[in-house]
Structure 1
Amino acid sequence: MTALALTPVEFVNEFYPNFWWIPAGILAAALGIKLPSIIRLWNDPLLRAVGGLLLLACSVFVFVAPSTIARVNRLTGIVNFSGPWVYSLLTAFCACCLLLIITWRSGLSDRSPRTRRAMRGVVAVYSGVIVAMWVLFALADVPVERLRDLDTYYATTPYVREMIVLYLLAHTTAALITNWLIWNWIRTDGLDAWLRWGLKFLGVGYTLQLVFDAAKITAVVTRWAGRNLDWLSTAVAPPIACLSAILVAVGFILPHAGQYLHDRWRIRLAHHELRPLYQLMRSVNGGGIPFALRATPELRLIRRETFIRDVLLPLARFVDEERRRRSYDAAVALGLPTQRAKALAAAVAILDAVDARSRAREGDGTGGTDTTELLRDIGAMSRALRDAEDIRAVRERARVQVRPDDVRVPN
């Protein structure tokens, strides 16, 4: 039968052995992307927690793959040992998600009795669930190895039945509580955009976990009734679990990664925006900043800003303040906003200062220019240098405009 002729259930069954490696690979890639930040900012407990959560989620999908289940059973010499092992990993993942959400929402500095009680309660309850599952497994008789359908095959077997119910109840409870916390949090005012989007991904992911639980519970309860809906557990639940895990991982990563990428973008943009002024100062200085292969974006930005200010400082004595004021008046007369007019006036003044310096003799220059504004607004000045048309218009207007005595460049 070709893949195109398969029904959805048959498709999942066909690819079930390799199905689990897709989310495992995605989660491993997410962890790999996040790992440098975790190592660099090791003192950030939230980053460490997110890393641990990704590692645990990845482990769940690695150990739930049929090939891994068979290998673990063979290595331990215990039939179906992977059953409680996978259930334990999944239960621990649920507990970690709850703890992270509680810590994340309350804030790291929140050490209130209520928060501490909630966290201790989660640890105690879910640790107890894991211990109870292993005790029940030790008491059970599970002679037939099941790689895909242990929960439905042994749904009516004493002790295993209780173990399965325990893990499903623990998972469902965690999903319900986490959903409630997340969707209430999303409705809070004043959230950062990255955090809000991360919470939305988490909300959808945990909603899908409830769908996963519903499929599993329905399949198990149907077995109790003497009927067979195992396909809900083996064909419907797995893809839902995979999609849910990916969305949850994205939800936890997005606020940190999004803010990090946003900061990176702002730094690179600021560095790029300074290029026109840097090139101008480079022509004045006769050379630029030595290239440093290992320089971080922050260091490159700082070095460029420092270089520009170092060259601007001696150049400022050639700035004609009267011409700068006329340029400002001209920019305002052209209908430009105040800040834009200031930037254009400064750009024109610096261009004129460069020309004046090239014609000057030693000792020329007024030396009376206030450099505070010039050194502070290098970003706006550099952006203004990109607009040759506006600079030309300001210069032409300044030549013919008679400046009123009462107009001053705002500080």
Structure 2
Amino acid sequence: MRDPEFYLPAILLITAFACRLPGIRQTWRDPLLRTVNALLIVASSVFFFAAPTTIAGINRITGVPNFSAPLVYSILTAFSASCLVLIINWRGGPPQAARRVTLRCVTAYSLVIITLFTLFALADAPVERLRDLDTYYANTAYMREMIVLYLVAHTVAALVTTWLCWGWSLKVRGWLRAGLVLIVVGYLLNLVFDAVKYVAVGARWLGRDLDYLSTGVAPPVASVSALLIGSGFIVPLVGPRLSETWRSWSAYRKLGPLWCALHAAPAPACAAVKMNWWSPVRLRLTQRESGILDGFLSLAPYFDRTLHGEALDAALRSGAEPKQAEAVADAAMIAAALAARNNDPEGAALSATAPDPSPTIGRARDLIGVSQAYSCSAIVEAVRVNAARSENTHP
């Protein structure tokens, strides 16, 4: 792999971490979110330090050929431990039990990291290898053990995490399940990475050369795996917020026909309050809902309850569900009220009639149904046509 193929995943992962920086101070005491942040940093570090250019630079700075080998293996081991710790905290359960298992996991993998550096210090590896160290030193004393140790530690973490996440994914739904499935797929690719490495190293033990598996196949598998795993941990945290934003935008858009009708000339039923384009969608939705409800209040003197009942009966006869029929009746009454208001520029009805707003359209949760009925219902269109005809015949 070329350097960009290492650095690109590193940049993507650290960017995901940077997106979380604004809220880090408020969530720093949450062990789950702390572990997510640590995981993103460690995962990004794996790719950054595994790039050949970075490897050569660290070897040159330290003056020790292949010093990057135990460093990269240690970061990869820390990544495996971070994933296990995150799953332990993510699943919940008694806090004391989670802390106890977390401590055991961190202790075990810390010992693995210490052992990796110890084995490297005992080994004789004077020839710098930037891409094929695993296979080049597969038969070298202590280097062989170091390579096998990091692969075994990585495999154990992948197997345990895959098993935990798969079992958990069968019990949950929604964004959490989607995230767990991504993690499972990512760790299955991790197992493919380990298998390819085992085959390449084992071939060297048997006197054969399958180095291309280690240098050409394993790195891209690792890149895809890390991105899937990182995405799997982020999706359940970001997904609900995206869903809420999408629902708000969808509701905002669906309220458009009713909003436009109430603000149409020549006699708008309510005043429009301008908002900046960068205003949060939830705030924009609330403003639109409030504006529509204010418009209903101004139209109350023109509401025709008899027409409402007739439209309701017509909608029910056409096969509409009761809630849908109520929305059609409300929309029909609004259409007629708007026409009546336009025919009353002096506001005579305002003093002659006491406000009697419809109880149904006074509830914001029904507004979307009313708005859709206003723009799509044949019954509402018929009321609108009749009102226009009456306006033309009674100047």
Given candidates 305, 326, 329, the residue that maps to 1:342 is: 326
Question: 2:335 matched to 1:366?
Answer: no
State the match for 1:356 in structure 2.
340
Given candidates 237, 242, 251, the residue that maps to 2:218 is: 237
Question: 2:153 matched to 1:170?
Answer: yes
Amino acid aligned to 1:364: A
Question: 2:133 matched to 1:150?
Answer: yes
Q: Residue 393 and residue 333 in structure 1: after superposition, are their counterparts in 2 closer, same or farther (change >3 A)?
A: farther
Structure 1 residue runs of 5 or longer lacking an equivalent are 1-14, 398-411
Within 2, Cα distance between the matches of 1:349 and 1:45? 55
Matches within 5 A, 1:112-131: 112-131=95-114
Once the two structures are TM-superposed, the CA of residue 45 in structure 1 deviates from its matched residue by 5.1
Amino acid aligned to 2:41: L
Within 1, Cα distance between the matches of 2:351 and 2:228? 67
State the match for 2:10 in structure 1.
24
Question: 2:299 matched to 1:315?
Answer: yes
Within 2, Cα distance between the matches of 1:281 and 1:37? 40
Question: 2:86 matched to 1:100?
Answer: yes
Question: 2:212 matched to 1:224?
Answer: no
Within 1, Cα distance between the matches of 2:281 and 2:337? 30
TM-score by length of 2: 0.86
Once the two structures are TM-superposed, the CA of residue 18 in structure 1 deviates from its matched residue by 4.4
Report the more deviating stretch, 113-122 or 222-231. 222-231
- Could you tell me whether the CA contact under 8 Å between 1:31 and 1:55 is conserved in 2? yes
State the match for 1:68 in structure 2.
54
Question: 2:251 matched to 1:270?
Answer: yes
Once the two structures are TM-superposed, the CA of residue 317 in structure 1 deviates from its matched residue by 3.5
Within 2, Cα distance between the matches of 1:204 and 1:219? 23
Q: Percent identity?
A: 45
Within 1, Cα distance between the matches of 2:260 and 2:104? 61
The C-alpha deviation readout for 1:113-133, integer Å capped at 9, x for no partner, is 433322121111111111221
RMSD over aligned CA atoms reads 2.6
Within 2, Cα distance between the matches of 1:53 and 1:98? 10
Matches within 5 A, 1:252-263: 252-263=233-244
Q: Residue 365 and residue 48 in structure 1: after superposition, are their counterparts in 2 closer, same or farther (change >3 A)?
A: farther
Residue-pair matches, total? 378
Given candidates 20, 27, 30, the residue that maps to 1:35 is: 20
SS in structure 1 of the partner of residue 131 of structure 2: coil
Within 2, Cα distance between the matches of 1:231 and 1:171? 21
State the match for 2:68 in structure 1.
82
Report the more deviating stretch, 178-187 or 226-235. 226-235
Within 2, Cα distance between the matches of 1:387 and 1:327? 14
Question: 2:330 matched to 1:330?
Answer: no
Given candidates 196, 200, 218, the residue that maps to 2:181 is: 200
Q: Residue 374 and residue 75 in structure 1: after superposition, are their counterparts in 2 closer, same or farther (change >3 A)?
A: same
Given candidates 379, 384, 391, the residue that maps to 2:380 is: 391
Amino acid aligned to 1:374: G
Structure 2 residue runs of 5 or longer lacking an equivalent are 387-395
SS in structure 1 of the partner of residue 351 of structure 2: coil
State the match for 1:185 in structure 2.
168
